[in-house]
A and B are shown apart, each in its own frame.
Chain A
Amino acid sequence: MTSSPASVLTRSAAPERVLLKGNEAIAEAAIQAGCDAYFGYPITPQAELLEWMARRMPEEGRAFVQAESEIGAISMALGAAATGARVMVSTSSPGFSLMAEGMSYIAGSELPVVLVNVMRGGPGLGSIGPAQSDYLQAVKGHGHGDYRVPVFAPSSIGEAVSLVADAFEIAERYRTPVILLADGIMGQAMEPVSPVYRNPARRPADWALTGADGRPPRVVKSLHLSPEDLERHNSHLQAKFRTIAAAEVRWAGEDLADAELVIVAYGTAARVSRSAVARARELGLRAGLFRPISLWPFPSDALASIATSARAIVVVELSAGQMLEDVRLAVEGRAPVLFHGRTGGMVPTPDEVVDVLRGAWALTPPRDGGAR
């Protein structure tokens, strides 16, 4: 970066390094990003996010409601967002299931809402330990109907802070809910962070409900009873999703230039994998890390290109293999895809992942060996 006055200012105004807990960092990032209203319901391991908001939002003169349920919280978000407010909700896995209904309506009504899911072990009540077992739910599903929602997965608390502001911006740019998908470790761990807060510029909301004063009434809705109307609405939504899919792909790579063994991991699994890559390189294995940051849209093209020169792709998740499906779809047989996952709140150690890399090396022929 050239040292323009702006960059000098940014550097000199750089925040000091502070020790922040993930949940609290996400909450404060939302406040600094101009979040007008927060709605939530207590659930481990994201309760500190709600508690931070309970204290800080009233201090800032903003709205905070502890709802009667996650269904209530997401519905309150729908109402507040319909008036053009900047809105966040947060929850953890079982609560996310309850928010699925609201997400479908919010997506159908084209409202900007940022939802934080700090995943825990499932199914059912599961555990309160960290997990990534809601990937398919966040990326492929939640509510009913043909819709997609941008999903971003931070793998450090500092990244979570910057993704919060980005999430609000993307939500408002496209009038869509956006999911920030973290796991219990991202929520509970404390890290030294230099938080870079950002309050994205507000966009004119000529659809927002403010009272029909001197203008025709506005309606925010998802019901289109006539098949012709609903298909038109769906076509519009699908065009929007294609735009997002083209414009909002994010990923990060580490040690990929000469990597023969490419780990694909996000969130906490990516943190573990980064350590595993370093140890594998000490052992002479040319390993690298491909880290999706946007889970939808998935960085398929970038991964496909990397897979062309990889000896093996190793997917590491805190699940029984969910992102694995997207990796296979992206790789399309360009390289063998192996998987290592832990569930129920268990987290793989770097050594465990190194063993998997060793196994991958032993199992797969060299890329240019002609044996394939």
Chain B
Amino acid sequence: MTTSVQDRPPRIVAERPALLEDRATHYCPGCGHGVVHRLLAEVLGELGLGPRTIAVAAVGCAVFAYDYLHVDFVEAQHGRAPAVATGIRRVRPEAFVLTYQGDGDLAAIGTAEIVHAAARGERMTVVFVNNGIYGMTGGQMAPTTLLGQKTTSTPLGRDARTAGYPLPITEMLAILPGVAYAARGSLASPSAIGKTRAMLKRACEVQEVDGGFGIVEILSNCPVGWGMTPVESIEHLAVVADTFPLGVLVDRPRAKAGS
């Protein structure tokens, strides 16, 4: 039996989440930040966290997250978002505290701040978007750049002898007792995006039960910085996942209890 579209009652299958502002973003075509923003807006909305959220925007392409997400925001210095979030946390116990950071910000210039916020078990949720490159400054090597990957500062490809190895910082954080939730997701496919969304939701819930520090690393793309089309860059995320395996590393809320 065939029915025409006109015969069916209209059904909304997708709409703009209330916490996502209705405006065009500045992100490059094919960039993953828009997807992550949407996931975050959906999850915060579902959990009713919007009115209590104080978010920290980090230096990088996503510093403008405050233009797109309908929550209070403070802008941190490069790498310092977890320390800024700590300051918020300690004077606003009722707030939902979130940082949104890239890989250069979190895993290079901000390693001290992320490690010690995690070590203290600060009740915050870190959204860590790893696209393996410094996008905003023109595509230089990041701590997470893959071996052999060409960037504007590794023109012959990243060579471990001179530029070291990609930094698995989420695994490093996962060994700390203050970390209640650590996971790595990806934007490689609709199903991967669905899993990433569930990770984000869990990381938010963990904060709400005073579980401790939560982080979700999201493997994302940078078509312009990688010199690829959007589709090629999404397909390339499978290669990235060889270096940065997907999955939940830690799920132990109330890690601090009994200490």
Contact = CB atoms under 8 A, between A and B. Distances in A.
A242 interface: no
A138 interface: no
Interface in A80-96: 80-83, 85, 87
Contact of B92 (A87, A102, A105, A210): A210
A313 to B, nearest CB: 41
A221 B72 contact: no
B88 interface: yes
Contacts of A210: 54, 72, 92, 95
A220 interface: yes
Interface stretch (A7-15, A19-27, A70-78): A70-78
A217 B80 contact: no
Given A71-B83, A75-B80, A75-B83, A83 B54 contact: yes
A101 interface: yes
15 contacts: A63-B91, A68-B83, A75-B80, A79-B56, A82-B84, A83-B88, A209-B74, A209-B88, A211-B71, A212-B53, A217-B71, A219-B66, A219-B72, A219-B73, A219-B74
Most interface-central of B73, B83, B120 (chain A CB within 10 A): B83
A214 B50 CA distance: 11
A72 B71 CA distance: 24
B85 interface: yes
Interface string A199-224: 00000000001111110011111110
A19 to B, nearest CB: 32
A363 B88 CA distance: 58
A109 interface: yes
B42 to A, nearest CB: 17
Contact of B84 (A37, A78, A87, A217): A78
Nearest to B49: A211
B76 interface: yes
A39 interface: yes
B72 A211 contact: yes
B87 A80 contact: yes
Contacts of B53: 211-212
Given A79-B87, A212-B70, A217-B71, A71 B80 contact: yes
Contacts of A76: 83-84, 86-87, 90
Interface residues of A, number: 39
Nearest to B81: A75
Nearest to A82: B74
B112 A211 contact: no
A80 B83 contact: no
Contacts of B63: 223
A69 interface: yes
B62 to A, nearest CB: 12
A75 B116 contact: no
Interface of A: 36-37, 39, 63, 65, 67-69, 71-73, 75-83, 85, 87, 101-102, 105, 109, 209-214, 217-223
Contact of A85 (B51, B69, B71, B91): B91
Interface of B: 50-54, 56-57, 63, 66, 69-77, 80, 83-92, 95-96, 112-113, 115-116, 120
Contacts of A217: 66, 69-73
Nearest to B53: A211
A217 B19 CA distance: 10
Given A79-B85, A209-B74, 8 more contacts: A68-B83, A68-B113, A69-B112, A78-B74, A79-B83, A83-B91, A83-B95, A212-B70
B87 A209 contact: no
A85 B56 CA distance: 16
Nearest to B87: A79
Nearest to B72: A209
B86 A79 contact: yes
A310 to B, nearest CB: 45
B54 A81 contact: no
A68 B115 CA distance: 9
B76 A212 contact: no
B37 to A, nearest CB: 14
Nearest to B84: A79
A37 B85 CA distance: 13
A102 B75 CA distance: 11
Contacts of A81: 87
Contact of B77 (A82, A102, A218): A102
A221 B57 contact: yes
Given A75-B83, A211-B95, A219 B75 contact: yes
A217 B113 CA distance: 26
Contacts of B76: 75, 78-79, 105
A221 B55 CA distance: 12
Given A72-B80, A72-B112, A223-B63, A79 B88 contact: yes
Given A75-B80, A102-B80, A218-B72, A82 B88 contact: yes
Sort A-B residue pairs by CB-CB distance and give the 7 closest, nearest first.
Answer: A79-B87, A75-B83, A213-B51, A76-B87, A80-B87, A79-B84, A221-B75
Nearest to B95: A211
B52 A36 contact: no
B75 A109 contact: yes
A39 B87 contact: yes
Contacts of B74: 78-79, 82, 109, 209, 219-221
Contacts of B80: 71-72, 75, 78, 102
A212 B41 CA distance: 14
Contact of B73 (A72, A85, A105, A221): A221
Nearest to A64: B90
Nearest to A225: B64
B108 to A, nearest CB: 14
A75 B66 contact: no
Most interface-central of A82, A210, A221 (chain B CB within 10 A): A82
